[in-house]
């Protein structure tokens, strides 16, 4: 067995929105479990995670998948950032989610996340006339044809790569604003949802890089009468998925209403630009839930209301949210 190229991926200390970082370590193969992947370190002073005179931070591998870009035996490794003594670094939001997921595991929480994003070339969204605007929104959502859809080759490559890597990828669609797209992952458990979403984001940036295109998760990439970008988070527990679960879902919605501000605080920066009450959103200062209501904070899908069990959709998280924080908040509020 030869060498394995392991891309160590971690989340930096950038504020208010963390960014992905990565570097490559060549390992002796084969890698058949997490234990075969050693801890590593990096210069935290270059990632807003340490000061210059004491800058080593630890990378602790927590999850890995096949690297669909390099090939065969190579891997992408998700890491938690720790201090040299092993304690949790303040930028590490995953460690707390892992604790909460363990504490409430008897509820069997599942997550399905809809990641919206926007392609940019320079200062314009992909497909937009340089310095100008396309036709008003309307025909682009789930559209087809060279005049309506921009970047499908990248989107298809990304989907293929995620499936190849073993991510629980569940679909894609072109969005309301031209140049804007969505992919979904799930349903999966809490830490898997977080790890897989971050890795799918990394693959999106990496694949778009080949095309000279930049993907942004900004919640309102173009000001004005254009849709923002969210990360609707679909959530269920075992009792929500069982007969009579609608009662549990309604109780969860009531609990979420009482903690609206705490949730908004971890649902992504600049979200107030997106949650205006227009463009299929509920205003950031209001909380509402309802069946099939795409203008509500929480939507109970039609099928869930009809069956009497299923899941809820939290429509508030923005595209740039940290899934470790969002999943932790949902479990804490709905399961406690």
Residues of this chain that bind ligand ADP (CB under 6 A): 110-112, 114, 170, 184, 186-187, 232, 234-236, 241, 310-311, 313
CB of 241 to ligand ADP, least distance (A): 6
Cβ closer to Mn ion: 232 or 274?
Answer: 232
CA-nearest of 302, 300, 105, 112 to 194 is 112
**Which residue's CB is nearer to ligand ADP, number 89 or number 158?**
158
Residue 114 makes contact with Mn ion by CB under 5 A: yes
Q: Residue 240: helix, strand or coil by DSSP?
A: helix
Q: Which helix (H) or strand (E) holds 216?
A: strand 214-216
224 phi and psi angles, rounded to 5 deg? 95, -150
User: How many residues make contact with Mn ion (CB under 5 A)?
Assistant: 3
| CB of 79 vs Mn ion, minimal distance in Å | 29
Piece of 26-34, 109-117, 198-206, 328-336 that binds Mn ion (CB under 5 A): 109-117
Q: Closest separation between CB of residue 184 and ligand ADP, Å?
A: 4
Burial grade of 290 (CB within 10 A; 0-12, 13-18, 19 or more): middle
Contacts of 80 (CB under 8 A, 6+ apart): 10, 59, 60, 62, 88, 89, 92, 94, 95
Q: Rounded to the nearest whole angstrom, what is the least distance from the CB of residue 12 to Mn ion in the complex?
A: 27
Q: Which does 192 bind (CB under 5 to 8 A by kind): Mn ion, ligand ADP, none?
A: none
Shortest separation between residue 219's beta carbon and ligand ADP, angstroms: 17
Q: Does 182 bind Mn ion (CB under 5 A)?
A: yes
Q: With DSSP H G I counted as helix, E B as strand and the rest as coil, what are the percentages for the chain, rounded to 5?
A: 30, 25, 45
Rule CB under 5 A: which residues touch Mn ion? Answer: 114, 182, 232
């Amino acid at each position: 067995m030869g060498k394995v190229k392991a891309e160590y991926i971690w989340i930096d200390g950038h504020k208010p929105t963390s960014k992905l970082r990565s570097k490559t370590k060549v390992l002796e193969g084969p890698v058949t479990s997490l234990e075969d992947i050693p801890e590593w370190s990096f210069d935290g002073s270059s990632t807003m995670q340490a000061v210059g005179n004491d800058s080593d931070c630890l990378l602790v591998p927590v999850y890995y998948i096949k690297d669909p870009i390099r090939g065969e035996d190579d891997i992408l490794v998700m890491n938690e950032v720790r201090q040299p003594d092993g304690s949790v670094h303040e930028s590490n939001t995953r460690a707390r989610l892992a604790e909460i997921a363990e504490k409430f595991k008897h509820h069997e929480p599942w997550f399905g996340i809809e990641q919206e994003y926007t392609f940019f070339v320079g200062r314009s969204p992909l497909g937009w006339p340089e310095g100008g605007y396309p036709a008003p929104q309307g025909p682009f959502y789930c559209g087809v044809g060279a005049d309506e859809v921009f970047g499908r080759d990248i989107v298809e490559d990304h989907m293929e790569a995620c499936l190849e890597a073993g991510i629980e990828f569940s679909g894609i669609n072109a969005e309301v604003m031209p140049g804007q797209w969505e992919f979904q992952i799930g349903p999966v458990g809490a830490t898997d949802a977080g790890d897989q979403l971050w890795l799918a984001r990394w693959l999106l940036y990496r694949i778009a890089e080949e095309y000279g295109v930049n993907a942004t998760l900004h919640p309102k990439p173009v000001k004005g009468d254009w849709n923002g970008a969210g990360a609707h988070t679909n959530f269920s527990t075992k009792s929500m998925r069982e007969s009579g679960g609608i009662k549990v879902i309604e109780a969860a919605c009531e609990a979420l209403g009482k903690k609206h501000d705490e949730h908004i605080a971890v649902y992504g920066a600049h979200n107030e630009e997106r949650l205006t009450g227009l463009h299929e959103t509920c205003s950031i200062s209001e909380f509402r839930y309802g069946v099939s209501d795409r203008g509500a904070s929480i939507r109970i899908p039609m099928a869930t209301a009809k069956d009497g069990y299923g899941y809820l959709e939290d429509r508030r998280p923005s595209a740039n949210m940290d899934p470790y924080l969002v999943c932790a908040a949902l479990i804490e509020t709905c399961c406690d």
